[in-house]
Amino acid sequence: METPPDGGWGWMVVVGAVVFQAFNVGIHKGLGVFVPEFSEGLEMSIGAVGTICGVAVGLKAILGPVWSACVPLINTRTLIILGGILTGLGLIVAGLSTNQIHLMLGMVISSCGFGLPAVAVYRTVKDYFHKKYSLAVGLVYSGSAIGMILFPPVVEFVIATYGWRNALFLLGASCFNICAVGVSFRPVRSSSESRGRCQCLDFCRSKVNIYADILTYTGIDF
């Protein structure tokens, strides 16, 4: 069994996971600010809006087994990029909504986008850390707190400045940055791969040294 590196590029993975968690939790906490806006703009009751938001958030957790099944089939980087695309598109669809069905569709797409890579993110952190795993996971969880603190006031300001539809468009566009976060989630390089690379480099160096000796003995300078 390969021993996790307990550091190195793993800290970049932790930073990426913190950003993902900030968006994941922060966006859903920010939905509370939209409740009166949805109610007034789409002529819906507060209860109906709350149900839609609750279904969207709950769906991410209910489909946890589905997201887990995707982990061995698709690498984490791809899952996060797909999740970022779905999340951004879902919020943009919600911003274009004209009735309850459209709003529900946008929220569900966005929720699936956040749920898709959720399990894979922690799986990758586990691959990089063993002794420092508790510290790494604690840092990742701090991203949830950062999102809960930052997003609601930012969402309130954006709604007051640009209106709720444009606010959803801006949030959707910002979620596409999750795709950039996904790039940092590269797989752990196994020790056998590292040994193979080192052996290949050693072989190339030995060949270069042989050719250099031949040229030296023949009196050719280079």
The encoded tokens of residue 173 equal 């566009």
Instruction: Convert the pLDDT of each residue in 112-131 to its tens digit.
Output: 998 888 888 888 888 898 88
Q: How far apart are the C-alpha atoms of 177 and 197, rounded to whole Å?
A: 33
Mean pLDDT for the chain?
82
Residues in the chain: 222
Say what percent of the chain tops pLDDT 90: 36
pLDDT confidence band for 217 (50 / 70 / 90): very low
Mean pLDDT of the region 11-31: 91
Instruction: Convert the pLDDT of each residue in 52-71 to its tens digit.
Output: 888 888 888 888 888 888 88
SS3 1: coil
Instruction: List C-alpha distances in Å: 1 to 4, 23, 127, 192.
Output: 9, 34, 11, 11
pTM of the model: 0.78
pLDDT confidence band for 216 (50 / 70 / 90): very low
Count of C-beta atoms within a 10 Å radius of residue 73? 8
| Cβ 103 vs Cβ 97: under 8 Å | yes
